[in-house]
Amino acid sequence: MPNTAFQPAPIDPGPGDGSDIHFCSTCAFGAVCLPGGYTKSALAELHCLVEHTGPLRAGAHVFRTNDRFESIYAVRAGIVKTRTIDALGREQVLGFHLPGEFIGLSAIHPSRYPCDAIALDTVYLCRFSFPALAVLATRMPLVQQELFRLISEDIGKATQLSGDLSAHERLAAFLVRLSERFAARGFSATRFRLGMPRSDIANHLRLAPETVSRVLRRFQDDGLLRIDEREVELLQRERLHALAATLSPGAPATGFHSA
C-alpha cells in the first residue's frame, strides 16, 4: 500500500489485493504466510475460512454484547469501535480498530462477545470462522503462533488505561500509538485523519470532551501538532513520545485499543 499523507475515507476494497498465495496487504495473517513456507493448497485451505462482509454503514453492529461467539473479524476498510454499556446505561468505549486489525478475540473464553462492535463509518470486514481456524492452526504452527500472539496482545491492552495518568499523557499516548498503527499499514506516521468523534476519544481515555479539546488546543499552541477539523499533523512527534513514555517505560503508547 503506498504511503499517503492522510488515511483516506473508506472505499469498497473489492476482492482485495490477495491471491491464492498472498493474503490482502491489510491482513494480520499476511506476515506468516510465505515465511512459513506454506504451499498453495495450505493457503487455499485457510482462505476458504474467510468470508468478506460489508458494507456496514455508520452505526451498524458487527456483533452485540452476549451474541454467541463463532467468528473473529479483521477490518478491511473503515474504523470499528468497541464498547460496553453498564447497568445504568453508561457507555464505555474500549477501543478503535483500523484496517488490518482484529476484533472479537476477547470472546474466546466466555464463548460470547463481551462488548458491542459498531461501524464508525463505512466498514468492510473479513470474517474468520474461529472453530475452523483453531483446527487449522494446530496443523500450521506459524498460524497458531500468530493466533497466540494476537490473543496475548489483546489481554495486555486491557491494562493500558490503568494508573494515575494525566490528560496530557493519555492523549499524547493515544496520538502516538495511532500514528504507529497507521504507519504499520503504509500510511504517514505524522499526518492522518481522526476517524472517530472526539466524544468517543474522550470516553475511551476517561476524560471529559472539553478536556480533550483543551489539551489538543494546548498541544497546538505549543507547536506539537496542527489540527484542521479531523485532519491531524504531528509536528513534534518526539516530544509527544516523551509525554507518552510515562504510560509504559521503554515502550511508549503500546495500546489503547482492545476488544
Contacts of 35 (CB under 8 A, 6+ apart): 142
Distance (Å, whole) CA 162 – CA 170: 11
The three-class DSSP label of residue 193 is strand
The predicted model scores a pTM of 0.78
- Burial (Cβ within 10 Å: 0-12, 13-18, ≥19) of residue 72: buried
126: closest CA among 15, 35, 239, 38? Answer: 15
Contacts of 115 (CB under 8 A, 6+ apart): 65, 82, 83, 84, 94, 106, 259
154: closest CA among 98, 102, 202? Answer: 102
Residue 176 has pLDDT above 80, yes or no: yes
Top CATH class, 167-247:
mainly alpha
How would residue 48 be classed by pLDDT, with cut points 50, 70 and 90? Answer: low
Percent of the chain whose pLDDT exceeds 70: 71
Residue entry with cell 491482513: 27
Q: Where are the domains of the chain?
A: 30-157, 167-247
Residue type, 114: P
pLDDT on residue 184: 81
Most confident listed range (90-104, 105-119, 161-175, 203-217): 203-217
The three-class DSSP label of residue 127 is strand
Q: What is the dihedral of CA 39, 13, 134, 182, to 10 degrees?
A: 100
CB atoms within 10 A of CB 149: 12
Residue 230 has pLDDT above 70, yes or no: yes
pLDDT on residue 139: 78
pLDDT per position as a tens digit, 101-121: 889 988 888 889 999 999 999
CATH topology of domain 30-157: Jelly Rolls (2.60.120)
